[in-house]
A and B are shown apart, each in its own frame.
Chain A
Amino acid sequence: GDSVTQMEGPVTLSEEAFLTINCTYTATGYPSLFWYVQYPGEGLQLLLKATKADDKGSNKGFEATYRKETTSFHLEKGSVQVSDSAVYFCALIDVSNDYKLSFGAGTTVTVRA
């Protein structure tokens, strides 16, 4: 079945550091890929998405490129801020599988001033 594997955390960084969170996927069809972010005490929010190979999603300085050849969707940000401290979830939705959203385990990121 469909699955998402993402880098285990927790990740602790200093402000202005570069952030990468690795995400790879397994899917039988042609999935759409997402990164969701969960701030403390809140629900998940969509951060960015990509719907086909080579698409790049971007938002709030974060970027991720849909790489079909490596089945990856790594999240990057060049200069993190304390406000980026959150849990990040990679996810996919495969339109051949009843449209269910499959999430990775989540990566906790803490940015220190």
Chain B
Amino acid sequence: DAGVIQSPRHEVTEMGQEVTLRCKPISGHDYLFWYRQTMMRGLELLIYFNNNVPIDDSGMPEDRFSAKMPNASFSTLKIQPSEPRDSAVYFCASSGGQVRGSQQFFGPGTRLTVL
């Protein structure tokens, strides 16, 4: 199994530009999570999906952020317009059902730098 795949691994953009991060979860997993990691705030859950449906987006910082999951094998996190404070590592994770103690599998992350 290839694990959770994220692209790009690194993204450098200028303030005001649109940024799209991509994630392919592990096949058969029905939960998908987007996290943001910064030195100041640690790991934050932004949004998660169950069976392609957004369940909780309360962690999305503001309207500039949006996430979609058009099918079971693909999700995007979009920032438009981007700002320097969005610079962080963004992780996607997937899980094969949230029975008690189920494990989330993390991708390698996308390191975003907004200049």
Contacts and interface: CB of A to CB of B under 8 A. Distances in A.
Interface of A: 32, 34, 36, 41-46, 49-51, 89, 93, 95, 98-101, 103-106
Contacts of A46: 103-105
Contact of B55 (A36, A49, A93, A98): A98
A-B residue pairs, 4 tightest by C-beta:
A43-B106, A51-B101, A99-B98, A32-B101
A35 to B, nearest CB: 12
A29 to B, nearest CB: 11
Q: Summarize B's interface: helix, strand, loop or mixed.
A: strand
Interface stretch (B12-20, B41-49, B68-76, B78-86): B41-49
Contacts of B109: 42-43
A49 to B, nearest CB: 6
Contacts of A98: 55-56
Given A101-B45, A103-B42, A44 B98 contact: no
Contacts of B96: none
Nearest to B9: A41
B21 to A, nearest CB: 13
Interface of B: 4, 31, 33, 42-43, 45, 48, 55-56, 91, 93, 98, 100-109
B103 to A, nearest CB: 5
Given A95-B98, A99-B31, A101-B45, 20 more contacts: A32-B101, A34-B103, A36-B106, A41-B108, A42-B108, A42-B109, A43-B91, A43-B107, A43-B108, A45-B106, A46-B104, A49-B103, A50-B101, A93-B98, A95-B100, A101-B33, A103-B42, A103-B43, A106-B42, A106-B43
B59 to A, nearest CB: 9
A89 B43 contact: yes
15 contacts: A42-B108, A43-B91, A43-B93, A43-B107, A44-B91, A44-B106, A46-B104, A49-B101, A51-B101, A89-B43, A98-B56, A101-B45, A103-B43, A104-B42, A105-B42
